[in-house]
Amino acid sequence: MSSRPIRAALLSVYHKDRLAPLVQVLRQHGVTLYSTGGTQKFLEDEGAEVTAVEDLTGFPEVFGGRVKTLHPKVFGGILHRRHEAGDLAQAEQHGIPPIDLVVVDLYPFEETVASGAEEQDVIEKIDIGGISLLRAAAKNFRDVLVISSRDQYEAVTELLTQKNGATDLEDRRHYAAAAFATTSHYDTEIFKYVSQGTAVAGTALRQSAQPATPLRYGENPHQAGTFYGDLSALFDQLHGKQLSYNNLVDVDAAVALMAEFADGEPACAILKHTNACGVAQAATLREAYVNALSCDPTSAFGGVIIVNKEVDAATAAELNQLFFEVLIAPGYAAEALPVLQSKKNRILLLQKPVQFPQKQIKTLLNGIIEQDADRQTETAADFRTVTQSAPTAEETEALVFAAKICKHTKSNTIVLARAGQLLASGVGQTSRVDALRQAIEKARAFGFDLHGGVMASDAFFPFPDCVEIAGAAGIRAVVQPGGSIKDADSIRAADELGMAMVLTSVRHFKH
């Protein structure tokens, strides 16, 4: 029979909030309630009559509560098949009453890990009985309804109210699938924690992200798209339409780039298709934005903007003159928000501090590739001067600035800059020479004089041509990884042109 009334329920939850309305509905339908510990006390405080699990099993909780529900009378009550005569006979023989509903809210393992708690505290938050109850109830969804999250309480309360305390097979299957999603995610997080530093860690890929947020579409309208993860942990959206797939890709690139400037003077970056078309640092945020916009005001149209300081009224007034998709900031002054909210669809994100994953994952061919996130950023201390001339203090500052942008730009890339301002970049070219020529042409098109500027390259120069072209354009200092068998040719070209060159020995490809 598809429809089944709930006559007995087992409740064992860590968090008690939002549970009361569900308990009230169960009581209204005369459901027998079984429970343990703190959940039992909560139910009794709500006026419910509760049978303690230890009274059902005839066995007390032991080992500080580590073993409470792991007993045949509990799991037999959940798992026996109501349509199998043999199961029913055994249940009667052993005095095992049926349990038709299981409500479990697991120990907060992820939250405990995120809090930085000591290992023993984390280990104690690995739920054993609860997760076993979820698996058992979900396995027997033909007969049993399972609730695996407090986020489901309201919906199940409405369901039981509408169906007079009963559920259909499709209801039970739905919640069983949700329970297995819960247990799968929970086990994945436990594996990731326990396997750290062990040989097991690299033998299999285990990843899980929730919740799922459907997007209007993917990269293009004919592609479906979904975001898996908790955006609310990173941003509060203060205004605008829902983030799209392409918005999210650009926002990710913007956040990664601005992390390089998080603790410095006011900075602004404008991105289009994950590449920076404008980056600047200045004494004020308004000045940083104006300088960033001047890099390429054409590409900035419809772009994503990120800043590292609170947006003040003066900056908001400047920003409001441009059509852009998204603005990301760590704060907004009260007088700035109404100005920025004057455009209906403009997305305003308040960025929160958050720890980012140390690994990057991408689907490829018929599998997945994983790598460490590129967390290395070179400073002046990492520069090794290889030319007769060393860069000046101002040139060194500009080289550090340019190298940070270069790291976050699609290969092959060349970045031209001066201290505190991107002048132009050549991005995603099949030839490094093409990238340089693109950058020079863009800089000149927007009125920049490259004389005295610096150049950064994401990888080594296989030939001296880039140095020669840059020198002819007025570039005075270069930062690159080095490592070519013809490094000497590029160094010689720099010396002949009176340029300074520093090597970092670190490549930053970005494909």
Chain position carrying tokens 């087992």:
10
Token pair for residue 366? Answer: 């018929």
Quick one: CA torsion of 378, 381, 386, 387, rounded to 10 degrees? 100
d(CA 396, CA 422): 14
Token pair for residue 439? Answer: 């950058």
Token pair for residue 113? Answer: 């890990």
**Could you give the 3-state DSSP secondary structure of residue 468?**
helix
C-alpha of 415 from chain center: 28
Longest dimension (CA), the chain: 97
Any bridge partners for residue 348, and if so which? 239, 327
CB atoms within 10 A of CB 226: 10
d(CA 190, CA 113): 9
Q: Is 273 a catalytic residue?
A: yes
Q: Per residue in 462-498, is it b (16+ CB within 10 Å) or e — as a string? A: eebbbbbbbbebebbbbbbbbebeebebbbebbbebe
Quick one: CA torsion of 114, 116, 121, 122, rounded to 10 degrees? 40
Contact 141, 175 (CB under 8 A): yes
d(CA 3, CA 1): 6
d(CA 453, CA 394): 10
d(CA 369, CA 205): 9
| Helices (runs of H) and strands (runs of E) counted in the chain | 19, 23
Q: Is 508 a catalytic residue?
A: no
Q: Contacts by 297-300 with C-beta closer than 8 Å and gap 24+? A: 297/322, 297/446, 299/270, 299/272, 300/270, 300/272, 300/324
Contact 48, 140 (CB under 8 A): no
Report the amino acid identity of residue 69. Answer: T
Report the amino acid identity of residue 271. Answer: L
C-alpha of 471 from chain center: 42
Q: Which of 139, 174, 185, 309 is catalytic?
A: 139
Token pair for residue 335? Answer: 């007088």
Alpha helices in 115-203 (DSSP H): 119-124, 129-139, 153-162, 169-194
d(CA 448, CA 220): 35
218 DSSP assignment: S
Report the amino acid identity of residue 324. Answer: F
CB atoms within 10 A of CB 35: 24
Q: Which of 174, 192, 273, 343 is catalytic?
A: 273
Chain position carrying tokens 């301002």:
421
Active-site residue set: 139, 273
